[in-house]
Structure 1
Amino acid sequence: MPVAPPRPPRPTPTRRLMLALLAAVTVTAGTLAAPAASAAPPAPLGPTVTRTDKPPTGYTVTFRYRAPEGVQQVHVYGDWFYSRPETITCQDCGDARPPAEWQPGDVAATPWHIQAMRKGPDGVWTFTTPLPAGTFRYAFTHDCANELATGCALYDDPANRWQIQPQYPGAPGAVRSTIYVPTSRKFPTYDTGYQAPVAKVGRLESRRYTSPLSTNPAGVHDIVVYLPHGYDPNRATPYPTLYLSHGSGDHSTAWTMQGVAHLILENAIKDRAAQPMVIVSTDFNGLPGGNEGYVDELRNNIFPFVEQNYRVSTRAQDRAFAGFSAGGSRAYTIMYNHTDLFGYHAAWSAGGPAATQAQVDSMKSVAGGIMIGTGLQDRLGNIAENSQRNAAALRAAGVELDEYNVPGVHTWHVWRPLLNHYLRTLTFRATTTDLDVTTSPAGLSHHTKVTATATVGTVSTSTSAPSGTVDFYAGDTHLGSAPVHHGVARLKKTVHGELNAPVVARYQGDKLFNDSRSDPVDAR
């Protein structure tokens, strides 16, 4: 951001006298022109977000970019084209309108198009456009004649380049500049405050570890680690860990650069909807063996490195996994065949193969939870249809899962809200409820004194204990409710006659932990 110039020093008496004499000379001589107004400082390079309170989105963004000498035309290339959902009948179909033509109900769609910038007298190329709320990627092209930038080199914004660059030559992913636009109250577009920049942010680290499996780079491989704000390497309770996989054409920087996963996490922590955790963004490029090779890399190389270098738990129930597209295919392999590696699983924008009975039985034992999600207009290989069909088949087979789908296609505008939902509704939020029930005569004829004690515990490691309320039932009869203190809720109740049905305790959950229920317990 531009920095205000320093205030000039306060004039001394001698200097004030000299200035007065100079002013007198200027006025009386009449031959000196009045001092010219100081020129405004040049606008900074890079993007500038401006609140306009004007349609269609209430905000505009101006991009300022200085191209090398000799470039005749510069275009900006960004993921901000929009379509009506009903027009998206195939991948890269739809009306694909620029953001100046945004309409309520639009979804961000593909393909991107280039938009011409204008060169000013200062030699700087500029482009101003309204943008709806959200995080956007963009790059620049030089003398590109193809409307879709096919075959054209893409250039980062040097004034707004992502802090972690690709860790090895030839790493995929060419768009490494992003901009965030807030939601306008006057012209609301999308609810994307969960991905907004935060005042208190943790630390991103680019790490290289030994990997006998890796062919590129040979013998070593890379991850990006995010340590949450306030990370304490000596914390008594180890942190849980979220492992993320990118899709085709990306690598380990993608989930924090394009996906802003670290900001989504910090916003959830700020809202007390998630606990602090370490995020590990992996790279499946250069690993032979396909999905199974990636699993071998996790088990044999990534887990040991992370657990030796950071204060994280080594228990499976303290690990969560999520991947999209090709990473979603890897998520299905882990979910089906290596369920025991993680306590929480999420597969996004991936059709998924049909599960065998053995795989279904394995998924039923997941300690935390399973999530499946997609963009509802994702036509890449019929992903939207196949994802929903597979989720329905797993539910029919008795697998408990959280299916969450959002409007959109095969883009980050889908994967960011899926991650937000995963963090706020599933990861490291699972609880267990155990119940003990005792009865005794109440001293009144045909009355029974019932004491029901529910113990609510967390499946995953946490520095917080569940709070809230437990409801107690005998069959369909509600016996009463009790608050949870230090993980325990106790109900004492006198009932007429004897209990004729087993007792069940149902924990309602709170902002940080999900609900759970006990097994039925016969009164003693």
Structure 2
Amino acid sequence: MFKKTFIIFAALAATTVLNAQQALWDGAQVESPVLNEDGTVTFRYFAPKAVKVTVSGDFLPTQKIQTPFGEFDGPGVAELKEGEKGVWEYTTDFRPAPEMYTYTFNVDGLNVIDNNNMWVNRDVSSLTSAFIVPGGRADLYTIQDVPHGTVSKVWYDSAVAGFDRRLSVYTPAGYDPCGKTRYPVLYVLHGIGGDEDAWLEQGRAAQILDNLIAQGKAKPMIAVLTNGNISQEAAPGQNSTGYTRPTMQLPKTMEGSFETSFPEIVKFIDSHYKTIAKKQGRAICGLSMGGFHTLYISINNPDMFNYSGMFSAAIGVSEQQMTPLYDNFDGKLATYFSKKPALLWIGCGKTDFLYKANTDFMEKMDANGQPYEYMETDGGHIWRNWRIYLSEFVPLLFK
């Protein structure tokens, strides 16, 4: 009996090894996406029983979509054609400009990622496949042959939250915790539903910093990528709730708690890193909800940050009556400018649903003679714009 059992076990083990070897050596039979020599891009998907397959992504011309906020630009859609052996294919009839793009397939009504492309982005609970067309600004988003900084996942005690919380901290190439050199600090904030990983994974923040610093276009700096969801310890899957589904419906996102807690983060960073611990050595920026947080952190702490950047800021989108932090906005804004910050920088897309809120805010500052810099881009509330804004904002810092 023992001999028979052993033979069965050995046979199963051998089958497992053979299957593993086949998976290891055979590799994927479909290549997608393919950046062709003429600059076009080919997408393929294996679906032998499918009736219709489409690809949707920000590399395609936009289409109008209806949202609760009105009609705005959305990702374009193109149809794949079925070829041999059930492989569907689409090749662009244009050359996508250098950029980092995301896309998904739709197979008979079901949205799926490209299972032949291992590069996947998570935006809240949505998964998209990703690729980069090299050249121009897009080269800032790729790993280049330059000195690289280090990204650490760091926990700090938050008295406001009542538990430990996690930060992502970038230190530039050559940073020595025992050395004499001190560095300025940039605090980078995400949008609603994001976390301390969002700017690293989708925003390519570490690559942007590495490349700009190596090119001499930016000062070597520490960057702190925060989690703006004060009810969370850390990113989904990295906290005590386990593998719960990420959601934008989190408590305490835009009611003042995170802004109130922010000096804790600054104090922690100054006490644990070689920082220039004064206003002239600090900058803060954020996208959407993070732009909203940036605004209120800056005007409630006018002696803390010398540079502030608001990317597609969610101005006016909050439960402002819940906290005095949002009271006396005009007075706090006037005090902020009376302290003569080096830079307030604003970026927004022409078709962003927050475009009017941002232009209204700038009209208010214009009427009061309050200085700022503004960059307007094509497109809407998308990571492509936010990467551009970060790469434009960073070289302006710590001059």
TM-score normalised per structure 2: 0.71
Give the match for residue 293 of structure 1: 257
Amino acid at match of 1:387: N
Q: Aligned partners of 2:153 and 2:79: how far apart in 1? A: 33
Residue 136 in structure 1 maps to residue 101 in structure 2: yes
Q: 1:242 matched to which residue of 2?
A: 186
The 1:372/1:265 distance shift into structure 2, 3 A limit, reads same
Query: Structure 1 residue 277: deviation in Å?
Result: 1.2
- Which whole-Å deviations, capped at 9, do the CAs of 1:349-384 have from their partners, x for residues lacking one? 126359413421222314432112211222x1xx22
| Rounded Cα–Cα distance in structure 1 between residues aligned with 2:32 and 2:152 | 25
1:384 to 355, 367, 383: 355
Partner SS state of residue 145, structure 2:
coil
Give, in whole Å, the separation in 2 of the partners of 1:222 and 1:110: 33
* CA displacement at 1:235 relative to structure 2: 3.4
- Closer, same or farther: CA 199–77 of 1 in aligned 2, 3 Å: farther
| Partner in structure 1 of residue 132 of structure 2 | 180
Q: Which amino acid is the alignment partner of residue 422 of structure 1?
A: F
Question: What does residue 428 of structure 1 align with?
Answer: 398
Q: Give the Cα–Cα distance (whole angstroms) in 2 for the partners of residues 178 and 356 of structure 1.
A: 42
| 1:342-421 superposed matches below 5 A | 342-350=305-313, 352=315, 355-378=329-352, 380=353, 383-421=354-392
Counterpart in 1 of 2:290? 327
Out of 274, 286, 289, the position equivalent to 2:218 is 274
Match of 1:469 in 2: none
1:79 pairs with 55, 58, 63, which one? Answer: 58
SS in 1 for 2:124: coil
Question: How much does 1:251 deviate?
Answer: 2.0
Secondary structure at the aligned position of 1:395 is classed as: helix
Decide which structure has greater helix share.
2
Amino acid at match of 1:226: Y
User: CA offset at residue 397 of structure 1?
Assistant: 1.6
User: Are residues 113 and 88 of structure 1, via their aligned partners in 2, closer, same or farther at CA, if it must alter by over 3 Å?
Assistant: closer
| Pairing 1:75-114 to 2, within 5 Å after superposition | 76-83=55-62, 93=71, 109-111=73-75, 113=77
Q: Deviations over 1:196-254 (max 9, x none)?
A: 44222323333343335448xxx333322223233333332212111111112322222
Quote the Cα distance in structure 2 between the aligned partners of 1:366 and 1:397.
14
Say if 1:336 and 1:88 are closer, same or farther in 2 by CA, change over 3 A. farther
For the residues of structure 1 that align with 2:128 and 2:278, how far apart are their CA atoms?
A: 35
Q: Which residue of 1 aligns with 2:270?
A: 307
- In the other structure, the counterpart of 2:40 is 60
1:230 maps to which residue? 174
Question: Which residue of 36, 41, 45 corresponds with 1:50?
Answer: 36
From the superposition, tell whether residues 134 and 359 of structure 1 become closer, same or farther in structure 2 (CA, over 3 Å): same
1:160 — aligned with what?
119
Mapped partners of 2:33, 2:269: distance in 1: 36
Structure 2 counterpart of 1:321, one-letter code: I
Q: Secondary structure of the residue that 1:175 maps to in structure 2? A: strand
**Conserved in 1, the CA contact under 8 Å of 2:285 and 2:310?**
yes
> Aligned partners of 2:171 and 2:341: how far apart in 1?
25
Unaligned 5+ runs, structure 2:
1-25, 232-251, 317-327
CA distance in 2 between counterparts of 1:418 and 1:335 reads: 18
**Identity in percent:** 26
Q: 1:389 to 1:89 in 2, by over 3 A?
A: farther
2:347·2:374 contact (CA, 8 Å) conserved in 1?
yes
Q: Does the CA contact (< 8 Å) of 1:291 and 1:329 recur in 2?
A: no
- Contact persistence 2:32–2:116 (CA under 8 A): yes
Distance 1:305 1:115, change over 3 A: farther
Contact 1:351 1:384 in 2 (8 A): no
**What is the CA deviation profile of residues 121-146 of structure 1, one whole-angstrom value per residue up to 9, with x for unaligned ones?**
4x8776544532201123456x4516
Q: CA deviation at 1:62?
A: 3.9
Across the two proteins, how many residue pairs are aligned to each other? 339
Instruction: Quickly say closer, same or farther: Cα 1:196–1:221, change in 2 above 3 A.
Output: same
Q: Is the 8 A contact 2:203 2:383 kept in 1?
A: yes
User: Within 5 Å, which residues of 2 pair with 1:485-504?
Assistant: none
Distance 1:117 1:229 in 2: 47
Query: Residues 60 and 75 of structure 2 are in contact (CA less than 8 Å); yes or no, is this contact kept in structure 1?
Result: yes
The AA in structure 1 aligned to 2:57 is G
User: What is the rounded CA distance, in whole Å, between the counterparts of 1:297 and 1:389 in structure 2?
Assistant: 28
Which has the higher Rg, Structure 1 or Structure 2? 1
Name the aligned partner's letter for residue 275 of structure 1. Answer: K
Distance 1:203 1:44 in 2: 35
Counterpart CA distance in 2 for 1:88 and 1:241 is: 39
Letter in 2 for 1:136: Y
Quickly say closer, same or farther: Cα 1:127–1:363, change in 2 above 3 A: same
- Shift in CA distance, 60/252, structure 1 to aligned 2, threshold 3 Å: farther
Amino acid at match of 2:96: L
Partner of 1:36: none
Indicate conservation of the 8 Å contact 1:157/1:177, yes or no.
no
> Using the alignment, how far apart are the partners of 1:223 and 1:156 within structure 2?
31
| Paired amino acid for 1:248 | I
Give the superposition deviation at 1:304: 3.8
Q: Using the alignment, how far apart are the partners of 1:294 and 1:225 within structure 2?
A: 18
**Are residue 317 (structure 1) and residue 280 (structure 2) matched?**
yes
Report the equivalent of 1:13: none
